[in-house]
Amino acid sequence: MNPELLIQLWSQVIWPLVRILLFISVGLVVANVIESLNWTNRMAILARPLIRLGRLSPLTGASFSMAFFSGVSANTMLAEAYETGKIDKKELVLANLFNSLPRFFLHLPTVFFLTAPFIHGAAFIYVGITFSAALLQTLVVVVVARLLLQGGSAEIIIEQRDNVSLRQAWHKSLKRLKKRIPGILKFLLPVYIVFFILSRYSVFQKVEAYTAGSFMFSWLDPQSLSIVILHVTAEFSAGLAAASVLLADNSLGYREVVLALLVGNILSAPIRAMRHQFPYYVGIFNLRLATELVGVSQVTRATTIIIVGYAYYYFF
């Protein structure tokens, strides 16, 4: 077999599968231990005011708290709650969107310390706008949840259980994990193989290049289009490098750079979600549900960034 193909198989299929299975397994065990020990209410304390306002369940609050440390564990907790009937589909979708704020904080250090050396003061504006979008999404979810979940999930009371030791909870979690792994692999493996084939034939790169080339923004400075194109067709750091050069020679100001990065963020996010987020969602949720959750998440995220970006463009 071609050595180059073997290297690609390892880096794009085998290793990502091993890593995701490890994270999902840890997430399943943690979620089941929390559920078995009845720690849900304690973990929900962090989000209690928002949970009450949105009539969401303590399980959603516990997932919100967990998302500050592990997005996989938070989603696994939601999947377990949905499969056992403790939350319905409406709350599952809303809870997944609700977790955008802790997910933002989880990635905040990486994003900020990557952007600051390149674009300096503009990093504070860019991060501030993306934070405002995540905060707006959280507030919208709370309002929508209050309207849709009237008298429903918010009134769920976690049942009292007999005292369970940590050892018993551990064994129970491992037992559930053994049952879940074959089902996870059934969907995860084909998805990764399909995505590997698409990537090998540069399908994603072609889609990204078409996306970048087909959008012309009359309101965007022509020189900033290079930032957008690199952000979409290469990676975030490539767009930042272009922005750094244009800032250094005073071709662009902070405002133009921030707007270009926001446009690149919106255009590149759906493709990258399909490449990185969707495969591990399929390992946690069923295929149809994973598609719906990723789709709703991307549309909501893009909409909130556009709203906040629009306000920045016209009022600042």
Residue 224 near residue 239, CB atoms below 8 Å: no
Phi, psi of 135 (to 5 degrees): -65, -40
8 A C-beta contact, residue 73 and residue 27:
yes
Give the whole-angstrom CA distance, residue 204 versus residue 232.
Answer: 11
For residue 276, the surrounding DSSP H or E stretch is none
Which one is predicted more confidently, 213 or 46?
46
Question: What is the signed CA dihedral for 232, 288, 83, 146, rounded to 10 degrees?
Answer: 70
User: Which helix (H) or strand (E) element contains residue 218?
Assistant: none
Residue 64 within a domain: yes
Overall average pLDDT of the 189-215 stretch = 65
The dihedral built from the CA positions of residue 222, 228, 233 and 234, taken in this order, carries a sign that is: positive
* Alpha carbons 68 and 106: distance in angstroms, whole number: 6
Residue 160, in any domain of the structure: no
Nearest to 293 by CA among 35, 145, 95, 69: 95
Question: Regarding predicted confidence, which is higher, 176 or 292?
Answer: 292
Within 13 Å, how many C-alpha atoms sit on residue 207's CB side? 14
Is the predicted pLDDT of residue 293 greater than 90, yes or no?
A: yes
Range of the domain at 105: 3-154+165-315
| Gap between the terminal Cα atoms of the chain | 57
Which residues make Cβ contacts (< 8 Å) with residue 136, sequence separation at least 6? 304, 307, 308
Q: Return the pLDDT at 113.
A: 84
Instruction: Band the pLDDT of 152: cuts 50, 70, 90.
Output: very low
Comparing CA positions, the residue from 92, 28, 105, 103 lying closest to residue 60 is 92
Q: Is 159 among the domain residues? A: no
Kindly indicate the confidence band of residue 142, based on its pLDDT and cuts at 50, 70 and 90: very high
C-beta separation of 198 from 204 below 8 A: yes
How far apart CA 47 and CA 98 sit, in angstroms, is 10
Domain total of the chain: 1
Pick from 181-190, 236-245, 295-304 the range whose average pLDDT is largest: 295-304
Tell me the CA distances in angstroms from 85 to 68, 89, 142, one per residue in order: 25, 9, 21
Closest CA to 56 of 147, 160, 146, 157: 146
Q: 277-287, pLDDT tens digit by residue?
A: 888 888 888 88
In a domain, 236, yes or no: yes
CA nearest 305: which of 261, 257, 255, 242? 261
Counts of helices then strands in the chain (DSSP H, E): 16, 0
For the whole model, what pTM was predicted? 0.73
pLDDT of residue 69: 78
How many Cβ atoms are within 10 Å of 110's Cβ, its own excluded? 9
Domain contains 177: yes
d(C-alpha 14, C-alpha 41), whole Å: 38
List, for residues 31-40, the tens digit of each pLDDT value: 667 666 666 5
302 in the Ramachandran plot: left (φ > 0), alpha (ψ -120 to 50) or beta?
A: alpha
pLDDT at 245 over 90: no
In a domain, 282, yes or no: yes
102-123 residue pLDDT tens: 888 888 887 888 888 888 899 9
